[in-house]
Amino acid sequence: MILVKTEEEIELIRKSSLLVGKTLAEVAKLIKPGINTLALDQMAETFIRDHGAEPGFKGYNGFPFTLCISINEQVVHGFPSERELADGDIVSVDCGTLMNGYYGDSAYTFEVGEVSTEVKELLQRTKESLYRGIEKAIAGNRVGDIGFAIQNYVEGFGYSVVRDLVGHGLGKNLHEKPEVPNFGRQGNGPKLIEGMVLAIEPMINLGVKKVVQESDGWTFRTADRLPSAHFEHDVVIRKGQAEILSTFEYIEEVLN
C-alpha cells in the first residue's frame, strides 16, 4: 500500500527532515581526524532531543544508536564506536528524526582531512547522482526512472550501484512502500503519484557492487573493501519537479 500524503503531513515531514539537516550540520562541525564516532552520536542525540524530537533510528528494529556512521568501505548502518576518524577517511552519516509523529531521514558522506582525488570524485558524483534521480521523481514517471537515472550516471564512471539496499517511502513509518532502488529500467516499477514522499539514497561503490554484512548484524561493507559513498534526500512527488524536503544547506555552510 503506497500512501499519498496530505499537505499538512508533508509539512510535518519537512519539519523533521530540516531538523535532520541541522543535526548533520552539527556533526559536520565536529568531523576531523582524531574524533571518535561515539562522540558524534551522543552530540546528535542531545541536539535532536533539545529540539523536541526523538532520534528516529534509536531502537528501530533494535538499532542501538542515533546515527548510522559508516567509514570508508562500510556502506550503511555502521555503529558509532570508540574508533577515531583518521586523515583521508570518508564517513557516511545517516540520521533520522521523529517529530509530531512523522519521520525525517537524510544522509551525507563527509571527507576527513585530506582525501584522495579518486575518493573525492566518488563523493561528488554520488551526490550528483542523487540529484539526477530526484529530477525523475515527478508525477507520471515510475520508480524505475529514478533508479535508471542514478545507475546510468554512476556506471559511466565505472562505479557500481549497491543492489541489496534501497531507498523507500517515508511518513509515519521510517520505511514505507515503495522501495526505491538506485538501479532500474525506465518506465518500470510503481507509478509516481503527486503527494508521495520518498527517501532517495544512492549507495555507490568505487569497486564491485557486492556487499557483505558484518558480524554486528547491521553494518554492510563492500565485498572488495573499496570505499562507498552515500547521500540521501527526502522528496515529495509533484507535477513537473520534485520538491526536496530535507536540506544539505546547513551542512555545506559549515563545510565551506
**C-alpha to C-alpha distances, 123 to 40, 43, 90, 117, 234, nearest whole angstrom:** 21, 25, 9, 10, 19
- Does residue 2 lie in a domain region? no
C-alpha cell at 247: 536540506
The fraction of the chain above a pLDDT of 70, given in percent, is 100
Domain that holds residue 226: 7-255
- Does residue 188 lie in a domain region? yes
- Does residue 45 lie in a domain region? yes
Is the pLDDT score of 2 beyond 90? no
- Does residue 1 lie in a domain region? no
Do residues 47 and 96 touch, judged by C-beta distance below 8 A?
no
Task: Give the pLDDT confidence score for residue 153 in this predicted structure.
Answer: 98
Tens of pLDDT, residue by residue over 79-137, are 999 999 999 999 999 999 999 999 999 999 999 999 999 999 999 999 999 999 999 99
C-alpha cell at 243: 520538491
The number of distinct structural domains making up the chain is 1
C-alpha cell at 213: 554484512
Do residues 197 and 5 touch, judged by C-beta distance below 8 A?
yes
- Does residue 216 lie in a domain region? yes
Domain with 113 in it: what CATH number?
3.90.230.10
The whole-number average pLDDT for the span 130-151 is 98
Task: Give the pLDDT confidence score for residue 38 in this predicted structure.
Answer: 98
- Does residue 127 lie in a domain region? yes
How confident is the prediction for the chain on average, in pLDDT? 98
